[in-house]
Structure 1
Amino acid sequence: MPPSDFTLLQVIPELETGGAEQSAIDVAEAVVREGGRCFVATRGGRMTSRLIADGARLAQMPVQSKNPITMMGNAARLVDLIRREKVSVVHARSRAPAFSALWAAQVTGTPFVATYHGVYKSQSPLKRWYNAIMTRGDLVIANSNYTRDHILAEHQVNPDKVVTIPRGVDLGRFNPAAVPAERMEALAQAWGVTPSERRTKILLAGRLTRIKGHATIIEAAQRLKAGGRSDFLILFAGDDQGRIGYRDELEAAIAVAGLADEVKIVGHCDDMPAAFMLADFALLPTIIPEAFGRTAVEPQAMGRPVIASSHGGTTETVVEGQTGWLAPPGDASAWAAAIARAIDLGAPARRRMGETGMNRARQLYSVEAMCAQTLAVYDRVLKAR
């Protein structure tokens, strides 16, 4: 464990929603729980109240900016913060702020760690250089073996410098026993799901962005309905994050496909455990590989099977035929068949599959394990210095 006077500075663009953001919150809480201090430099967002409630401190600055002048200003602000608060380790969780954070860490002689949260595209040498900022510190954390393999293939990095720490799920929060019926009923009412609803309820949880594969599911649902099926209700739960045009595009696609009764966009959800409990199974149809895919693990932790795209980190978190199924990304016909198979399996068999997934998630993907391994990384870089 890090020393008792340990102070962590995490740097992340914003704290609105997402896996990287949740990991930052979880690690901050773990540091405070162990007697240390944690600052998070960020533009801010809806998750800041949780950060502060957990005892961490907000250092608000425009670290989301890619403007070089703003980034230089951020670096100066971070240098001041590191010196004033005697920061022990700087941990960057995104590329743009990593430039400012690394510069500040180098100026102050502070150990620097970065988490490679995604498999970043690099069509040019310049973009590869930009992505490589995440590998220029003392250690790199990969959030899956898939991500680690990508880092080693993409960048000239010593393999000993890259540590795999799977993203953790809060198993206290994502616990079926911790979700009373009233929360499920309140969510069902908010989403317009009546108590008399007998159709199989299917949840796609994730922000409304094209890469999440909503269009694949709309086309798959259209194929199911054209085949005579009307025994399903698909719910898209996620924030559009200002992508009004994309949300309008999805609404139009649902209407054109004649799926107004079968596919509903229900918006941002603050109670994801209740959302997964309300569903019979979940979907993660991403069209580009997820580095980890938290929304494939969370439903499993809640005892719900999941159908996920057969690429990226989800091939590690979903066990075909045991905890869920894998389907080819973007293949609406294959997704229609997978959804039909999951519906036809029936509730008792899905429950048994859900129990298998829940047990596996508890063994491999606890937030406690992720935090303990992250704190061990901090300890390692401090001792190496």
Structure 2
Amino acid sequence: MRIALYNLTTTTKFGGVESFVWDLARELAGRGHAVSIIGGVGSRREAAPGVRVLTFPFISRRFWQAIPPLRRAYAEAKLLERLTLAVPALAHLARGGYDIIHIQKPYDLAPALLARRLGGAKVVLGCHGEDFYRGDTLLARHVDASVSCSHFNAATIEAHYGFRPQVVFNGIDTSLFRPLEPAERRNRPAQLLFVGRLQPWKGVETAIRALALIPDAELLIAGAGEDRVRLEGIVAELKLEQRVRFLGGLERQTLPQLYSRCDLLLATSHASETFGIGPVEAQACGLPVVASNFGGFPEVIDAGRTGLLVPPRDPQALAEAVTRLLADPARRAAMAAAAPTWAAQFAWPAVTDRIEAVYRSL
């Protein structure tokens, strides 16, 4: 099949959806499909063999948000950004001879459906969040198929659009994310780890406030984002400067080593978390997880066996769960042993089988 994976940000930034597109492209190309990634002009990763990358200019959402009526219209600014990409990309999308156009955001419904009318490709809507906007329900009903990254997200999509997508969990590279020889851990505090973008809804504040209630532990924060300055202020307010380390944004290739030297991963989101790629990668490396009982986290953590779930935005509950596990090395070791087997269901070959089955059904 000739497959277009169309998503502006795949070629302009790093993130969960972006990694999903790159990895899916690699897997599909390895199965003999002709795969093109179509995105915006910007810095991008090295493409896998057999994957063609095409980039087109666009007008950033920051330009649109500088216009006073759009300053707080986040969805509309993102929609305009996507539509400006569609103008130069549409001719190729329609005439590229594609069998499948797989989009990752509802913002791209209009150009994908127009390309289908002009070129005949089937349109697959990938659902990773709640990127809704006025008028999207009129477009979404015309897609040929839809897939969602979790049952939690599928229920949200069904409530909004009136149809339920097929659930196909996001995938991980188990050749990269696998157990490594544990790093030397003598004579150091327990190390807690957060991995993700520094956005308010990721709940890093909860992790920092929980740390103040956990003796003899450090918190490593791997990620970059707009919330860092505020979080650094909270660290200073709680006098935790010697126990919290901001590592900045890290390449994926460095994460397995980081997981191998830590004791627990903290996943603290309280909004917009439809899957949870970080907890899956950590478990694949044999690192137990303590996570918010929210969104997609309950689907990617085997509660009680590979980690624990706690109420979101509750530093006390998070601190108590972490303290219990830190005080019970045998239980942590059992969780670490069970985690890679549990995470194997998210390996890319299995995920690609499911995606490929959706394509073939069209």
Alignment TM-score, normalising by the size of structure 1: 0.82
Aligned counterpart for 2:162 among listed residues 153, 156, 161: 156
Match among 239, 256, 280 for residue 263 of structure 2 = 280
Aligned-pair distance for 1:128? 5.7
Q: 1:49 aligns with which of 45, 48, 57?
A: 45
1:92 aligns to what?
103
What is residue 334 of structure 2 aligned with on the other side?
352
Q: Show CA shifts across 1:299-349 (max 9, x none).
A: 111111101110111111112211100011101111111121121122x43
Which residue in the other structure is 1:22 paired with? 19
Tell me the secondary structure at the aligned position of residue 221 of structure 2: strand
Q: Which residue of 2 aligns with 1:328?
A: 311
Whole-Å separation in 2 of the counterparts to 1:49 and 1:302: 24
Amino acid at match of 1:350: R
| CA-to-aligned-CA distance 1:74-119 (integer Å, 9 cap, x gap) | 3343332134431111011123233322322233221000111014
Say whether residues 1:108 and 2:119 are aligned partners.
yes
CA distance in 2, matches of 1:307, 1:249: 23
| In 2: Cα distance, 1:355 partner to 1:167 partner | 22
The residue aligned with 2:66 is none
- Equivalences for 1:194-343 in 2 at 5 Å? 198-224=188-214, 229=215, 231-240=216-225, 243=226, 246-270=227-251, 271-343=254-326
SS in structure 2 of the partner of residue 204 of structure 1: strand
CA distance in 2, matches of 1:345, 1:38: 48
1:37 paired residue number: 34
Identify if the C-alpha distance between structure 1 residues 69 and 166 changes in structure 2 by more than 3 Å, giving closer, same or farther.
Answer: closer
Alpha-carbon contact 1:71-1:100 (below 8 Å) kept: no
* Shift in CA distance, 304/131, structure 1 to aligned 2, threshold 3 Å: farther
Give CA-to-partner distance per residue, 1:135-166, whole Å, 9 cap, x none: 54101101111111222222222x4xx21101
CA contact (8 A) 2:137 2:160 kept: no
- Aligned residue for 1:366? 347
Aligned amino acid, residue 125 of structure 2? A
Cα deviation, 1:248-295, whole Å, max 9, x if unaligned, reads: 111111111010111111111111111111211101000115211111
* 1:169 counterpart = 2:172: yes
Given the superposition, is the C-alpha separation of residues 356 and 284 from structure 1 closer, same or farther in structure 2, using an over 3 Å criterion? same
Distance 1:54 1:172 in 2: 17
The separation in 1 between residues aligned to 2:313 and 2:55, in whole angstroms, is 39
Q: Which secondary structure state, in structure 1, belongs to the residue aligned with residue 283 of structure 2?
A: helix
CA contact (8 A) 2:211 2:218 kept: no
Matched to 1:336, the amino acid is A
C-alpha change, 1:17 and 1:131, in structure 2 (3 Å) is farther
What CA distance in whole angstroms lies between the structure 2 residues aligned with 1:315 and 1:68? 31
Question: What is the distance in 2 between the residues matched to 1:138 and 1:209?
Answer: 34
- The answer (yes or no) to whether the contact 1:203–1:283 under 8 Å persists in 2 is yes
The 8 Å contact of residues 233 and 262 in structure 1, kept in 2 or not, is answered as: yes
Unaligned runs of 5+ in 2: 62-76
Against the structure 1 CA distance between its residues 350 and 97, is the aligned structure 2 distance closer, same or farther, given a 3 Å change threshold? Answer: same
2:53 is aligned with 1:58: yes
**Aligned partners of 1:137 and 1:110: how far apart in 2?**
11
Does the 8 A contact of 2:206 with 2:268 survive in 1? yes
- Closer/same/farther in 2, CA of residues 272 and 99 from structure 1, 3 Å limit: farther
- TM-aligned CA deviation for residue 205 of structure 1: 0.4
Amino acid at match of 2:359: Y
Q: 1:288 to 1:67 in 2, by over 3 A?
A: closer
AA at the equivalent of 1:77: P
Give percent identity, aligned residues only.
26
Residue in structure 2 matched with residue 130 of structure 1 by the alignment: 136
> Any stretches of 5+ residues in structure 1 without a counterpart?
1-5, 186-194
Contact kept, 8 Å, 1:201 with 1:279, in 2: the verdict is yes
The CA distance in 2 between the partners of 1:254 and 1:27, in whole Å, is 38
Post-superposition shift, 1:59? 1.4
Aligned 8 A contact 1:32 1:56 in 2: yes
1:308 and 1:133 mapped to 2: Cα distance?
Answer: 35
| Larger relative contact order (Cα-Cα within 8 Å, sequence gap ≥ 6) | 1
1:375 maps to 2:356: yes
